């Protein structure tokens, strides 16, 4: 990557780390739903909107960022010239009511939005767990940090999925799973331990830590699943692949999925150890 792009990615990563404590402290008092729905028709919490405003203002201010898009707003915002940043400001925000983990996801594309996963130059997530951590993928490697007073303290260089998988988590109601996915799930549940918390970032972080597979599959009622390609599928696929794992929409890597002109396009999402994702693709064949 040219030095000027590297410098912009550095600034995006630093800005997300600086903003994470403000997002976290801003959760207090913002647990109620607003009248509005987001572009995907989901109810918005005051915390979703607050986090989106913080990221739009701060990431949009960076020289070298040209576009900002988020799950919480309809269109792409033109903020200058340069890289495109797509953000899920509060992933899993329905967990706020029950005070469980949530995250922020950031995708940095060297292309206009909506973009292909293959155009990503970096992706990262913040996990608001007992500790605020941040996991950053760039240049083919993944690094985990703790976020302390808005600064990054490295805790693990070269995050890699363990070879022996331990955990799985699958979204969607079981009666809504297509029969071929259910057959695969029944096999996996004989082998691995269930970890499903309702926030993709927290569930994917279990897979990065312990090895395994996370999926929000196609459903009978929603053939493209629930999660969004630009804000969730691409960056999570990129992070897991950089950590030595695999990603799939059911037939191909998430990074190869052709974007439509809808920035809120959904995609069936499966990530984890290569062997488990390979078996999934065989099962859905
Ligand atoms: O909107 C995304 C999300 O909150 C993910 O973080 C999570 O994996 C999923 O939705 C949870 O959906 P459900 O409530 O159907 O389990």
CA of 38 to the centre of ligand 1 (A): 14
> Could you tell me the distance, in angstroms and rounded to a whole number, from the CA of residue 200 to the centre of ligand 1?
6
Ligand 1 pocket, mutate which of 199, 202, 268 (most atoms under 8 A from CB): 199
Q: How many whole angstroms separate alpha carbon 214 and alpha carbon 209?
A: 12
Q: Which residue has the tokens 């692949």?
A: 241
Return all residues near 163 (Cβ < 8 A) that are at least 6 apart.
211, 273
Residue nearest ligand 1's atom 11 by CA: 198
**pLDDT per residue of the chain (285 residues) written in tens, 0 to 9:** 888 899 999 999 999 999 999 999 999 999 888 877 888 888 899 999 999 999 999 999 999 999 999 999 999 999 999 999 999 999 999 999 999 999 999 999 999 999 999 999 999 999 999 999 999 999 999 999 999 999 999 999 999 999 999 999 999 999 999 999 999 999 999 999 999 999 999 999 999 999 999 999 999 999 999 999 999 999 999 999 999 999 999 999 999 999 999 999 999 999 999 999 999 999 998
Does the beta carbon of 198 sit less than 6 angstroms from any atom of ligand 1? yes
CA distances from 172 to 99, 179, 196, 225, 276 (A): 21, 13, 11, 8, 19
- Find, among 140, 169, 125, 158, the residue nearest to 276 by Cα: 169
Q: Which atom of ligand 1 is nearest to the CA of 173?
A: 15
Domain boundaries, the chain: 3-156, 167-284
Look-up of token digits 């997300």:
16
- C-alpha pair distances (Å), 76 with each of 87, 113, 263, 268: 11, 7, 8, 23
Q: Can you give the pLDDT at residue 1?
A: 81
| 42 CA closest ligand 1 atom index | 1
Residue 228: burial class (beta carbons within 10 Å; 0-12, 13-18, 19+) = buried
Fold of 167-284: D-Maltodextrin-Binding Protein; domain 2 (3.40.190)
> Rounded to whole angstroms, how far apart are CA atoms 147 and 142?
16
Instruction: Check pocket membership of 171 for ligand 1, CB cut-off 6 A.
Output: yes
Residue located nearest, by CA, to atom 4 of ligand 1: 92
Quote the pLDDT of residue 31.
Answer: 87
Tracing tokens 């469980």 back to the chain, one arrives at: 100
Looking at ligand 1, which residue's alpha carbon is closest to its atom 10? 92
pLDDT at position 14: 98
Mutate to test the pocket of ligand 1, among 88, 177, 216, 222 (most ligand atoms within 8 A of CB): 216
CATH class of 3-156: alpha beta
Contacts of 126 by beta carbon, 8 Å cutoff, 6+ apart: 16, 17, 20, 23, 103, 104, 132, 133, 134, 147, 201
Residue spans of alpha helices (H) in the chain: 3-25, 46-60, 179-191, 200-210, 234-242, 274-284
Separation CA 228–CA 230 (nearest Å): 6
């Amino acid at each position: 990557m040219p030095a000027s792009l590297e410098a912009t990615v550095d600034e995006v990563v630093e800005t997300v780390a600086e903003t994470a404590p403000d997002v976290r402290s801003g959760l207090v008092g913002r647990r109620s739903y607003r009248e509005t729905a987001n572009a995907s028709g989901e109810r918005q919490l005051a915390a979703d909107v607050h986090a989106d405003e913080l990221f739009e203002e701060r990431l949009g201010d960076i020289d070298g960022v040209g576009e900002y898009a988020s799950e919480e707003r309809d269109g792409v915002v033109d903020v200058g010239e340069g890289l495109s940043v797509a953000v899920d400001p509060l992933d899993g925000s329905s967990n706020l009511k029950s005070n469980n983990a949530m995250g922020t996801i950031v995708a940095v594309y060297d292309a206009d939005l909506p973009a292909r996963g293959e155009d990503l130059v970096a992706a990262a997530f913040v996990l608001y767990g007992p500790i605020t951590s941040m996991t950053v993928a760039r240049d083919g490697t993944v690094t985990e940090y703790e976020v302390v007073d808005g600064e990054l303290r490295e805790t693990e260089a070269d995050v890699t999925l363990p070879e022996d998988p331990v955990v799985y988590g699958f979204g969607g109601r079981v009666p809504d799973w297509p029969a071929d996915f259910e057959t695969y799930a029944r096999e996996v549940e004989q082998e691995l331990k269930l970890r499903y918390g309702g926030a993709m970032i927290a569930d994917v972080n279990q897979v990065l830590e312990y090895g395994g597979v996370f999926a929000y599959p196609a459903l009978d009622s929603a053939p493209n699943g629930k999660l969004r390609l630009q804000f969730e599928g691409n960056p999570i696929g990129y992070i897991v692949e950089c950590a030595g794992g695999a990603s799939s929409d059911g037939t191909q890597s998430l990074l190869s999925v052709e974007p439509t002109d809808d920035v809120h396009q959904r995609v069936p999402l499966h990530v984890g150890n290569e062997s488990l994702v390979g078996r999934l693709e065989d099962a859905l064949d």
